[in-house]
Amino acid sequence: MTDQAARRVVISGMAINVPTGDTLDTYYDSLVAGKSAVTKWKFVDTSGIYSKVGGDLSEYDIKGKLAATLERLPEHMRKRTRKLVRKAPFSTQLTILCAADAWFDAGLDTVDLPPDRMGVIVGGHNLANNLVYTNNVQFQEEPEYIHSMLALHGLDTDQASSVGEVLGFRGPVYTMGGACASSNVALRNAMDEIRYHDHDLMLVAGAPLDFSPVDLQAMAIMGAISYQSFHDEPERASRPYDRAREGFVPSHGAGVLVVEELDHARRRGATIYAELLGVATASDGSHLPAPSVEGQVRTMQRLLDRTGVALEEVDYINAHATSTVVGDLTEVRSIKELFGKHAYKLKVNATKSMLGHTCWSAPATETVASILQMTHGTLHPTINVDDVDPEVDIDVCANRAVKHEVNVMMKNSFGFGGINCCALYRKYN
């Protein structure tokens, strides 16, 4: 192993914005309390589509959040931040503001670091779908009146470059797409930037997916999302491991992680939340949204092999667990096949039971949840498990918060097209 490859990597800052909270404390408290983020959609007219419920952030007070952020920022950053956020589309606004929160949380406002040794990776793709959709509608009516900045704002890279501009980072800035594993894939690249490309700090942003009505209708027709049984009880729609699950619940959400080289973080006196031991990715060799036990086991095994962590050392898995009929059982089978008897000593839970599925940003929003649980020593419940699927015989923290000391945590993410990506964390002492 080279000296570069031996560089240890830690999480030194985090931020969140989901319908149940935009601070770490409110987010964690809502999770442990079993509070659902799922309501009826407001951001889109659902009268002509099947999907009626989701985790909706369209009424989030962006102007108020921007004002509060500007008060905290140094004077030289305020003008560009105000200008960028005001002109940016919905998803980019949320990403910028969440990234600023992570920047503060990491204490980067109190130090003067070389900007060319820090970078930004945004996890996600096709992020501006609703922006493109609404402009297509406008184009059909009158092409002259489409948004003047659509050619720029419609690109995913606009999110990464906007965050980089606000924070003044001059290192690598790019996006990584891997469907629902996107933010974990971005995390893997952030680790590589630090270990192999001589950067000190990378900000990984799980950006909100701005769903268009076409997206929601297409996913419903595919049978991927819940749209039949819970229109009047949206908080019950996301129900991993329950017999009545019928598909995932799409949700808005942003999560940001500051990934930093350990000695660099120590030298500047940073708070260290956890050590990132490794991230492994592998594929099923299929473009279809059909999860594979073989592919998931192979990815988790590769992660353990590469990090040198034994099966028995893993205490907790934050599951992908989307509330789909096939996906939930595939992951449970994969965990049991890989971990054997130890699977019955593990604690497993599903953050999506409360958040819904934030899609491309899910690995980030759920990693923030996982690290907070590791820090506090209490795992949040998996809610809505009213009639557990008989094949789910491992401990999924059904309907109850569980006190559990976590030293090693695994975060699973499995995207459409058989894109598997899993990360491993150790509690930092």
Question: pLDDT tens, 54-82?
Answer: 999 999 999 999 999 999 999 999 999 99
* pLDDT tops 90 at residue 3: no
* pLDDT tops 60 at residue 420: yes
Name beta bridge partners: 121: 174, 204
180 flagged as catalytic: yes
Residue 429 confidence class, pLDDT cut points 50, 70, 90? confident
> Looking at residues 232-253, what average pLDDT do you find?
97
Tell me which residue of 298, 357, 299, 373 sits closest to 31, measured CA to CA: 373
Beta strands in 44-100, from DSSP E residues, in sequence order: 53-54
pLDDT tens string 13-52: 999 999 999 999 999 999 999 999 999 999 889 999 999 9
Q: Using the structure block, give the residue that is written with the tokens 């039949």.
A: 228
Catalytic residue among 357, 359, 380, 421: 357
* pLDDT tops 60 at residue 2: no
pLDDT tens string 384-394: 999 999 999 99
Determine the angle formed by the axes of helices 75-87 and 62-72, rounding to 10 degrees.
160
Report the topology of domain 278-427. Peroxisomal Thiolase; Chain A, domain 1 (3.40.47)
Are domains 9-274 and 278-427 of this chain identical in fold?
yes
Asked whether the beta carbons of 361 and 183 are under 8 A apart, the reply is: yes
Report pLDDT for 6: 80
* pLDDT tops 80 at residue 426: yes
Asked whether the beta carbons of 363 and 421 are under 8 A apart, the reply is: yes
C-alpha separations of 339 from 242, 300, 331, 346, 349 in Å: 22, 10, 12, 9, 16
Pairing of strands 39-40, 316-318: unpaired
Report pLDDT for 5: 64
Instruction: For the beta carbon of residue 72, count every other beta carbon within 10 angstroms.
Output: 13
Residue 235, judged by CB atoms within 10 A of its CB (0-12, 13-18, 19+), counts as: middle
**How far is Cα 182 from Cα 156, in angstroms, rounded to an integer?**
13
Residue 290 confidence class, pLDDT cut points 50, 70, 90? confident
pLDDT tens string 195-238: 999 999 999 999 999 999 999 999 999 999 999 999 999 999 99
**How far is Cα 397 from Cα 32, in angstroms, rounded to an integer?**
11
Q: Using the structure block, give the residue that is written with the tokens 């795992």.
A: 379
Asked whether the beta carbons of 199 and 118 are under 8 A apart, the reply is: yes
Q: Report the Cα–Cα distance between both ends of the chain, in Å, rounded.
A: 24
Amino acid at the residue 161? S
Task: Pull the structure tokens for residue 311.
Answer: 């099966």
Asked whether the beta carbons of 401 and 381 are under 8 A apart, the reply is: yes
**How far is Cα 237 from Cα 314, in angstroms, rounded to an integer?**
30
pLDDT tens string 106-125: 999 999 999 999 999 999 99
Which pTM was predicted?
0.96
* pLDDT tops 70 at residue 130: yes
Instruction: For the beta carbon of residue 133, count every other beta carbon within 10 angstroms.
Output: 17
C-alpha separations of 69 from 64, 97, 118, 216 in Å: 9, 7, 21, 32
Amino acid at the residue 317? I
Non-local CB neighbours of 264 within 8 Å, separated by 6+ positions: 200, 201
Catalytic residue among 153, 252, 264, 320: 320
* pLDDT tops 60 at residue 1: no
Report pLDDT for 321: 98
**How far is Cα 259 from Cα 202, in angstroms, rounded to an integer?**
5
As a whole number of Å, the CA-based R_g of the chain is: 20
**How far is Cα 237 from Cα 37, in angstroms, rounded to an integer?**
11
Question: What residues does each domain of the chain span?
Answer: 9-274, 278-427
Catalytic residue among 98, 180, 359, 421: 180
> Looking at residues 353-368, what average pLDDT do you find?
98
Q: Which CATH superfamily is domain 9-274 in?
A: Thiolase/Chalcone synthase (3.40.47.10)
Residue 172 confidence class, pLDDT cut points 50, 70, 90? very high
Phi, psi of 39 (to 5 degrees): -135, -170
Asked whether the beta carbons of 55 and 404 are under 8 A apart, the reply is: no
**How far is Cα 254 from Cα 16, in angstroms, rounded to an integer?**
6
Q: Which of 145-159, 359-373, 399-413 has the lowest mean pLDDT?
A: 145-159
Tell me which residue of 425, 423, 299 sits closest to 373, measured CA to CA: 425
Pairing of strands 53-54, 39-40: antiparallel
Beta strands in 302-375, from DSSP E residues, in sequence order: 316-318, 347-349
